[in-house]
Structures are given as C-alpha cells and as structure tokens.
C-alpha cells in the first residue's frame, strides 16, 4: 500500500451565499466552483450536516467532466481530514450516478459524493456540480440539503489534509492521513447487479439472432459501462456503442439524451438503416432515451410500458409493489397501476422524493418525464437499466418497440404529452409569471378556453406518506374536464437565469386517433397554456427554446 505523508490543516474561509442545493445537488458554472475555497466550503458543509461517519466509508466518483479529477482530490483530502475511515473512488475518478448508488449499497457505505452536473455541458466555460447521497444510495433528502445550505452560510473554516495527489488510475489502496483510499473498478459492482436483474442469456440470444443496437454514450460516463454490458457481456456487435470514451467537455456536446441533443439518433431510427433499438444516456448515466425502429418512446410512456412488462425480467418476476412518478410526468403509468391493482404515487419533481417510497417497499418502479426511469435496485434513476429493461422486454415478447407501444396504447389509451422549455429567461419575469398564476388559481375552475373547461387548479403540495414531511409550491396544475392537463414550474437545476417548464398532456382513449403528430394533437392546449400564463408577456419569448 502506498502511504502518503500527510498533515491535517484547518483553513480559514468565508461563506459564499449561493450554495443552496437545487433539484439535484449544487450545480453552477465551472468557474464558480473554481473560486478559492468554493468547493471546499461546500464539502465541509456536507460533512457538517452529517453525524456519525467517523471511521466509516465514503464513495466518491464523477462523470469525468472538466475539473472532476481536481475536485475528487479535494474531496479525498477533506474526507480523510474529517475522519472518514475509508474512501472508495472509481478508477479515473469515474462513477456513473446509478453505479455510485449501487456501490454505496453494496459496500454498506455511510454515503457518497458524486461530482456531476448531469446532462449540462462540461468544460471551463460550462457547468460543474456536486451532490451528496445517503446510505440507502439515494440523493440526500431536503432535511440534509437544507442543513448543508445553512452551514454554508456561516462557515469559517474547513479541514483538509496536506498530501500529494492520489493516483486515481491505478486500482489499489493508498493511506491518506487516517483513511484508506481504495481505487475500485467503476463497472464491476454495477454489471453484477444488472446480471442479477435481467435475463442476460435471452438478451444475448437476440443479439446472436441479428438484433441491432445503437447506444450513444454521448462522450460521457456510460461509455465504459455500455461497452462492458452490451458489447462484452451481451455480444452486441462492436461499434454498437458510439461516443464511448468519457471526455472532459463531452466532445463539445450537450450530453442530454433528448430529441434535440440526440437528434441524430431519431433521424437514424426513422431511416431505412434503422437498428432495432436506438438508445442514449446523459452526462452521469441516470437518464435514458429509447427509440425503436420508426418509434420514439416518450419517457412517460416508457415508464408505463416498463411497469406493465417488468414481470418479464427475472429481478421483477414476482410482480411490482407499486409505481411512483413525478407530478408533471404523464398519467400513462397510473392506468397500468390501476389495472395491476397496485399503489400509485405522485411526487414532486426530483428523484429524492422516491427514496422513502422505495425504502418502505411501497413502490418498485419510478419514473420522471425528464428521461428518468429506475427501480428499487438502486436509489437513483438509471439510464442503462432502462435500456436493459427494454432489451429484456423485447427478448421476452419477441416483437419490436413499435408493436409494443401501439399495443400498449390500444389497451390503455394514449397520453399525448410534450414539455415546452423557455430556457435562460430573466428570473424576475419568470417569478412574476408564477406569482401571477398563483393569484389566478382560485378563479380558474369553471373557466372555458375554447372547447376546454378548467375543472381544478392548484399549486402542487406533497405530504410524504412515509415520514409526513411536506413539500409545497411544487408546480402549478391546471386540470381540464376531459382529462387534459397543463403544468407550469420553474427548473431547479439551471445555472443561468430561470427556465420555465410547461408540461402539456391530453388523454386519447380512441385507438383510431392514436396516429396524430404530438404538437398537433396538443395544439389547443398549447394555445391555452399561453392564454392562462401570458408566457410571452412575462418572458419576452414567443416560442419555447426546447420542445421535448
């Protein structure tokens, strides 16, 4: 074992006022994180919010973006100085978010720190982020994130060990102060978990029979995982994984697997050369994109279809306990839960709200409209898990993605669904828009907008059924009499200005009307969304910047 000579130092610092974690950790421009003591302040604030970790294990990894390695060295030295006994770090500083969750659980660690700004671009001019996960492997609940923020506002000093950098690229152990730093294979634990959940032999067989896959790792963290799983373990043709090397700037791209940033996959899937399945994941590996030959699957539909078919995968053979979705996610999954006579939970946006439901065994499958799906195998959403689930379903049903989607709509009805984002608008305007909506709420029920009539409208509040904690102001909902819905909320992950998200949903039970183009099917609701919220007046924009 290498022993690095070391000495604990207490460094004086001053608070930064802007360290409140958002929907998923603290996310800022990289330059902000590179300010003197900025990252260290936040890391010390995390440790200050925790109790009882002396001598315990901390898992550390990131998505490989610019500043990842430097940040990991700081976290290692501070964790050792603060009394952690063991620090597990993914080789090269790499751990996808779901893999970090899996390692925390498998190693019964006290918690973990993931360096990532998820699907936001990386690089010196782009974004960086850090989040803390608790011992169940899931994102820290609000109680902890608020305590971190409170401490960051009063911090006067932090503890760090003065020691040379740990070699992140060599598996093995190094002693840093009183702690052992263990560099681990970032893929092994995760791969074993996937093998325990899915029918690898059946999936390998469809690849042998000529099934074709194109998985775009978007030059982000999932490359090494995807190659090990799809190409090495399952026998998909070499080259099935593209952009498989994690790069500090993600090759200059926006590693968000949606129809804008992964447009080329949609084009491929709609072309004559379409493989059976096109898929992608984001910067830190927790999101997924699923497109069959000639068929994009919306994340909301994917959640519903996974819930209806999960029993086909060995890890879920005995059925699922319940389903949870974030409030803005379409209600397609609700219909499946109703049919299966299992629990259905509607939570605020953000994976952290699923943790209690999963821990209590109330739900097995969770999902969000923002390309997130996952299960009780970890406490994060999981991009490669979703792709494997689809592969398992395709192998078991011996049919194509398009056929499965159409059959699902025929059985349950179709939820036309779209999200319109107004990115980087002025914060004052966005906040005024929401304030105006709130003021309008009591007067909305009963109002008509063309053929649409408002049935109910509220500002979503959630009481956690497990610990009774209450989260208020989680999005404005306008529900119409025939089952349509518009939801408005401001993003909690942006790093510049404000982002207004408008979620639009219409339910169509009649299979004869399932072939409309989504934006056309939603046209009257889209017009109504503008009328109710006066989006152009408050944001100065006459159309959204991103439509998904």
The sheet carrying 343-347 orders its strands as: 343-347, 322-326, 365-368, 372-375
Determine, following the binding rule CB under 6 A, whether residue 219 of this chain makes contact with ligand G1P: no
Residue whose CB is nearest to ligand G1P in the complex, by number: 491
> With CB cut-offs between 5 and 8 Å by kind, which of Zn ion, ligand G1P, none does residue 370 bind?
ligand G1P
Determine, following the binding rule CB under 6 A, whether residue 368 of this chain makes contact with ligand G1P: yes
Interface pick for ligand G1P out of 314, 445, 483, 492 (rule CB under 6 A): 492
The residues, any chain, with a CB within 8 Å of residue 239's CB and separated by 6 or more, are none
Residues that bind Zn ion (CB under 5 A): 118, 282, 284, 286
Q: At what angle do helices 38-48 and 142-152 cross, to 10 degrees?
A: 130
Instruction: Using the CB atoms, write b or e for 266-293: b if 16+ within 10 Å.
Output: bebbeeeebbbbbbbbbbbbbbbbbbbb
Distances (CA, A) of 74 to 40, 77, 303, 477: 7, 5, 38, 43
Nearer to ligand G1P, 30 or 258 (CB): 258
Interface pick for ligand G1P out of 33, 38, 67, 351 (rule CB under 6 A): 351
Interface pick for ligand G1P out of 57, 118, 145, 539 (rule CB under 6 A): 118
Whose CA is closest to 288, among 196, 231, 367?
Answer: 367
Determine, following the binding rule CB under 6 A, whether residue 374 of this chain makes contact with ligand G1P: no
Nearer to ligand G1P, 224 or 367 (CB): 367
Whose CA is closest to 409, among 483, 298, 277, 315?
Answer: 298
> With CB cut-offs between 5 and 8 Å by kind, which of Zn ion, ligand G1P, none does residue 284 bind?
Zn ion
Asked if 147 and 47 count as a contact pair (C-beta separation under 8 A), the reply is: no
Torsional class of 369: left (φ above 0), alpha (ψ -120 to 50), beta (otherwise)? alpha
Task: Give me the least distance between CB of 356 and Zn ion, in Å please.
Answer: 21
Q: Rule CB under 6 A: which of 73-112 touch ligand G1P? A: none
Nearer to ligand G1P, 130 or 168 (CB): 130
Nearer to Zn ion, 276 or 282 (CB): 282
Task: Give me the least distance between CB of 402 and ligand G1P, in Å please.
Answer: 26
Q: Is the dihedral of CA 547, 289, 221, 173 positive or negative?
A: positive
Determine, following the binding rule CB under 6 A, whether residue 493 of this chain makes contact with ligand G1P: yes
Per-residue string for binding with ligand G1P, 321-340, x by CB under 6 A?
-----x--------------
Per-residue string for binding with ligand G1P, 6-35, x by CB under 6 A?
-----------------xx-----------
Write out the catalytic residue numbers. 118
Task: Give me the least distance between CB of 118 and Zn ion, in Å please.
Answer: 3
In terms of DSSP bridges, do strands 179-184 and 86-94 run parallel, antiparallel, or are they unpaired?
Answer: parallel
The residues, any chain, with a CB within 8 Å of residue 430's CB and separated by 6 or more, are 422, 490, 497, 498, 499, 500, 538, 539
Which parts of this chain interact with ligand G1P (CB under 6 A)? 23-24, 118, 326, 349-351, 368, 370, 372, 491-493, 501
């Amino acid at each position: 074992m290498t022993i690095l000579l070391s000495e604990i130092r207490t460094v004086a610092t001053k608070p930064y006022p802007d360290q409140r974690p958002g929907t998923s950790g603290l996310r800022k421009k990289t330059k902000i994180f590179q300010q003197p003591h900025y990252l260290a302040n936040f890391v010390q604030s995390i440790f200050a919010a925790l109790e009882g970790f002396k001598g315990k294990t901390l898992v550390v990894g990131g998505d490989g973006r610019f500043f990842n390695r430097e940040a990991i060295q700081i976290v290692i030295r501070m964790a050792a100085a603060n009394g952690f006994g063991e620090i597990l770090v993914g080789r090269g500083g790499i751990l996808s978010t779901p893999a970090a969750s899996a390692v925390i659980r498998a190693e019964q660690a006290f918690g973990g720190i993931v360096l990532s700004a998820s699907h936001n671009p990386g690089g010196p001019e782009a974004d960086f982020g850090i989040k803390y996960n608790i011992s169940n492997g899931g994102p820290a609940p609000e109680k902890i994130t608020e305590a971190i923020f409170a401490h960051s506002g009063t911090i006067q000093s932090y503890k760090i060990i003065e020691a040379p950098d740990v070699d992140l690229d060599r598996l093995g152990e190094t002693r840093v102060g009183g702690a052992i730093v263990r560099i681990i294979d970032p893929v092994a634990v995760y791969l074993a978990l996937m093998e325990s959940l899915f029918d690898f032999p059946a999936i390998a067989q469809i690849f042998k029979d000529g099934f074709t896959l194109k998985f775009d790792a978007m030059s982000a963290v999932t490359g090494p995982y995807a190659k090990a799983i799809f190409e090495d373990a399952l026998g998909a043709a070499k080259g099935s994984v593209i952009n498989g090397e994690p790069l500090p700037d993600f090759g200059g791209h926006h590693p968000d697997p949606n129809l804008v940033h992964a447009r080329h996959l949609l084009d491929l899937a709609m072309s004559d050369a379409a493989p059976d399945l096109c898929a992608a994941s984001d910067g830190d590996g927790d999101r997924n994109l699923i497109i069959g030959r000639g068929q994009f699957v919306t994340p909301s539909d994917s959640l519903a279809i996974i819930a209806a078919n999960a029993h086909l995968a060995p890890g879920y053979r005995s059925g699922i306990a319940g389903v949870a979705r974030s409030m803005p996610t379409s209600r397609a999954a609700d219909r499946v839960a109703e049919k299966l006579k299992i629990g259905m939970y509607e939570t605020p946006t953000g994976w952290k709200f699923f943790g209690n439901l999963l821990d209590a065994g109330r739900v097995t499958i969770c999902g969000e409209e923002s390309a997130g799906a996952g299960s009780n195998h970890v406490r994060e959403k999981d991009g490669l898990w979703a792709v494997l689930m689809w592969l398992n379903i395709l192998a078991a049903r011996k049919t194509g993605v398009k056929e499965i989607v159409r059959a699902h709509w025929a059985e349950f009805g179709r939820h036309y669904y779209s999200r319109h984002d107004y990115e980087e608008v002025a914060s004052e305007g966005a906040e005024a828009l929401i304030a105006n909506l709130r003021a309008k709420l009591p007067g909305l029920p009963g109002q008509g907008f063309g053929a649409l009539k408002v049935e109910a409208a509220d500002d979503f509040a959630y009481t956690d059924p497990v610990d009774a904690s209450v989260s208020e102001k989680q999005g404005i909902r306008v529900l119409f009499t025939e089952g349509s819905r518009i939801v408005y909320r401001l993003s909690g992950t942006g790093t510049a200005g404000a982002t207004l998200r408008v979620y639009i949903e219409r339910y169509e039970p009649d299979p004869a009307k399932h072939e409309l183009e989504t934006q056309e099917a939603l046209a009257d609701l889209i017009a109504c969304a503008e009328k109710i919220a006066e989006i152009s007046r408050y944001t100065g924009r006459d159309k959204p910047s991103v439509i998904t």
